[in-house]
Structure 1
Amino acid sequence: MTAVLVLLVAVAALTGHTLVNATRWLRRPTPGPVEVTEAVAVLLPLRDEAGRVTPCLRALLAQRGVPGLRIVVLDDGSTDGTADVVRAVAGDDPRLTLLTGVAPPAGWLGKPHACWQLAGRTDPAPTVLAFVDADVVLTPYAVAAAVTELRAADATLLSPYPRILVRTAADRLVQPLLQWLWLTFLPLRAMERSARPSLAAAGGQFLVVDRAGYLRAGGHAAVADRVLEDIELARAVKRAGGRIALADGSRLAACRMYETWPELRDGYTKSLWASFGHPAAAAVVVILLLALYTAPPLVAVAALAAGAPTVAGVAFLAYLSGVAGRALTARSTGGRAWPDALAHPVSVVVLGWLTLRSYHLRKRRRLTWRGRPVT
């Protein structure tokens, strides 16, 4: 009984932390209308994105509130006609420049190298850089609102996390864990105030940085070989004396990260090992998550079968508390709360399996992404 009570208290405390983060410390940029006078460059790296880049490009070309907006697109060795799609969508719009990338040299991964090439080709130099992925669709004032929030936060880097679109059962099990993890376990206020690089989070789908601070931090050259280049860039900014901030960008952007289960599985597999570092640390975290969020419903069922209704009731309360944290995260970030939150214990099991798969394939040197080796 004591162990089950400890589980209940621990899960309830974490859900309470989620509530505090979501209601007090999570930044929520105004979606518009808003206008900025700074020169802003939106940077879009593309590799084999012909099938899904059109909505992203149209949204970028429809941006309002940024008179000095420039859009720089890099075709990073695509073989599917991505550059042709960009030309067809952009037409003769003078705000958009299409570049042809070069292959990453030794010691560089593909995305950091593409972003670094983009950052070095913004002439005349803007004061703000906005990195966007091809699967992100921005609302009309998204860039202006993000730049306004960057300045309001007095930050060097702002990560306005998009609303993650889910369509399949696999999506609903896995994708909401991204927001849930940082809202539940990351002290947002301390992250903004602390100079510790280890206390950092960011999402590369939509990232806004002060250009001068970005260069002081070494830009993407400082994270050339990092799989999680977004988080590592945030840490580099902190090491250079800058500040970072995280925001709910669900009213500014939407993102459909993966179209199929194999894409989702492989996308997480390529990077989860980098999230945890040493395998022992990953094992501890996964075991802890399973104990807190997957064990309670199992204990409740077992206790009922054993004729211990009090233990079953406490375990069920622990399960409901975890469900509440998941639902609260969804409501706070534009996600779907019900009935998805009820399957939270299964989500944690899937996360554990993906983590195990990530370390297994990395050990065998079989991790790849978009046709390039990851490690």
Structure 2
Amino acid sequence: MTVPVVLAALSLVLALLPLGQGIANLVLYRRPTAAPPLDTAVSILIPARNEESGIAAAVEAALLSRGVEVEVVVLDDHSTDRTAGIVRSIAARDPRVRLESAPPLPPGWSGKQHACQVLAGLARHSVLLFQDADVRLSPAAARLTSGALLSGRSGMVSGFPREETGTLAEALVIPLIHLLLLGYLPMAAMRRSTDPRFGAACGQLIAVRREAYDEAGGHAAIATSLHDGVTLPRAFRRAGQGTDLFDATGLARCRMYRGWREVWSGFSKNATEGMATPAALPVWTLLLFGGHVLPWLLLGWAALDPLPLAAVVLACLAAAAGLIFRLLLAVRFRQSIVGALLHPVGVLIMLAIQWSALLRARRGKPSEWRGRTYQAGPGPGAP
């Protein structure tokens, strides 16, 4: 076989892998339906640092929760804007809301993990629901999330909200979260095992049983981490606690980043705790570039210089497999169709972010987020 045929055959294998895994996972990755016990009470815990533009909407949405008793605890993490005042005014008219102030950040802690650890200590109920300040819960979210947690044996469950996008940069990159999750995580194996390598969560929306949280060491077990979506479920699994995932598309929404600068900075800050490690990133580059970009390059090559028919056919099938999967995810999770059609561009941007983060970490350059500086590098539980 010629080189183009070999490359096209490889690209087809690498494109079919996430498509097949993704279809299987879509059967397992569902919106929760189980109801919690009638006396269930949930502590909704929101760390907030300079969130004046959206904190009122986050708190008000949480207060609309139905079917469970809730308290909403907001930890003001040394904000320099009106965050505390806004929450204080809501608490003055609704006793279910509490505003607390974060103590000074101890050395060696990241801001969010410290805030969440403090919030866990302030919570009054046995179900702890951690949400980011840019998440908007639906009225059914607390009930169905606690139902998913309490109806199973897992110590932690996590849902991926509907990720809203407003710019092309967001539409290209943010939906890749679902592609990576559903295309490459074997959920059936995840549910059968407590192996930390299968640990995955969305840091925007995590619910835990208090006793399981304490047994796993809480956020103190990942004190230095900037990527609780990877490191916290691994901590639970190391403690023998199961973790699970559910589709929160209809239960919560979030616009995690706004514009190109935030997309690059946001995905860069914690990249070295996930994909961007010296061992993992070459493998991810082979999987993503080979399965989602190479087919299109081969088709471009064929347009300029005739290739063997077998290479063209294989490259067409590979390109179609990748595009079909991305469009399937776009429809299922209400994502941008334009972003899906430009799928290879989004993959290239994601890989550029990961390689940039790895090179930055190798040079010892720190990450910056929310006005704080953190030394780049693999976090707890990273491979």
TM-score range, shorter chain: over 0.9
* 1:198 alignment partner, SS class: helix
The reply on whether 1:29 has 2:32 as its aligned counterpart is yes
The verdict on how the C-alpha distance between 1:296 and 1:258 changes in structure 2, with shifts beyond 3 A counting, is same
The residue aligned with 1:8 is 12
TM-score, structure 1 length as denominator?
0.94
**TM-superposed deviation, 1:277:** 5.4
Letter in 1 for 2:99: L
Is residue 155–residue 244 contact of structure 1 (8 Å, CA) maintained in 2? yes
1:91 is paired with a residue whose SS is helix
2: CA distance between counterparts of 1:221 and 1:36?
A: 31
Q: Match for residue 66 of structure 1?
A: 68
Amino acid across the alignment from 1:241? G
Q: What's the CA shift for 1:189?
A: 1.4
Contact 1:300 1:313 (C-alpha < 8 Å) held by counterparts? no
Deviation at 1:34, TM superposition (A): 7.7
| 1:322-333 paired onto structure 2 within 5 Å | 322-333=322-333
Structure 1 residue 57, shift from structure 2 partner:
1.1
Contact 1:220 1:233 in 2 (8 A): yes
Q: Distance in 2 between matches of 1:212 and 1:185?
A: 31
Distance in 2 separating the partners of 1:2 and 1:283: 20
Q: Identity percentage over the alignment?
A: 37
Post-superposition offset of 1:273: 1.6
Correspondence for 1:160: 159
1:207 aligns with 206
Would the aligned equivalents of 1:136 and 1:255 in 2 still touch at CA under 8 Å? yes
SS at 1:27's partner residue? coil
Which residue of the other structure, out of 17, 21, 32, is the alignment partner of 1:17? 21
For the residues of structure 2 that align with 1:147 and 1:299, how far apart are their CA atoms?
48
Q: How does 1:1-375 map to 2 (within 5 A)?
A: 1-22=5-26, 24-30=27-33, 36-67=38-69, 69-123=70-124, 126-276=125-275, 278-308=277-307, 310=309, 311-336=311-336, 338-362=337-361, 363-375=363-375
3-state SS, counterpart of residue 107 of structure 1: coil
Q: 1 CA distance for matches of 2:131 and 2:216?
A: 19
Q: CA deviation at 1:21?
A: 0.5
Q: Secondary structure at the match of 1:339?
A: helix
- Per-residue deviation at 1:287? 3.7
Shift of 1:278: 2.9
Encode CA deviations 1:199-239: one digit per residue, 9 max, x unaligned: 11001101011111011101001111112123211111111
Ranges in structure 1 where 5+ consecutive residues have no aligned partner = none
**Structure 1 letter corresponding to 2:183:** T
SS in 2 for 1:227: coil
**Stretch of structure 1 that moved more, 310-319 or 57-66:** 310-319
Measure, in 1, the Cα distance between the counterparts of 2:50 and 2:359. 27
Instruction: Could you tell me which runs of 5 or more consecutive residues in structure 2 were left unpaired when the two chains were aligned.
Output: 376-383
Q: Give the Cα separation in 1 of the matches to 2:17 and 2:235.
A: 31
Aligned residues: 369
- Alpha-carbon shift at residue 309 of structure 1 (Å): 6.3
So what's the TM-score if we normalise by structure 2? Answer: 0.92
The structural deviation recorded for 1:335 is 2.5
Task: Give yes or no for contact 2:91–2:98 (8 Å, CA) kept in 1.
Answer: no
Report the AA paired with residue 347 of structure 1.
G
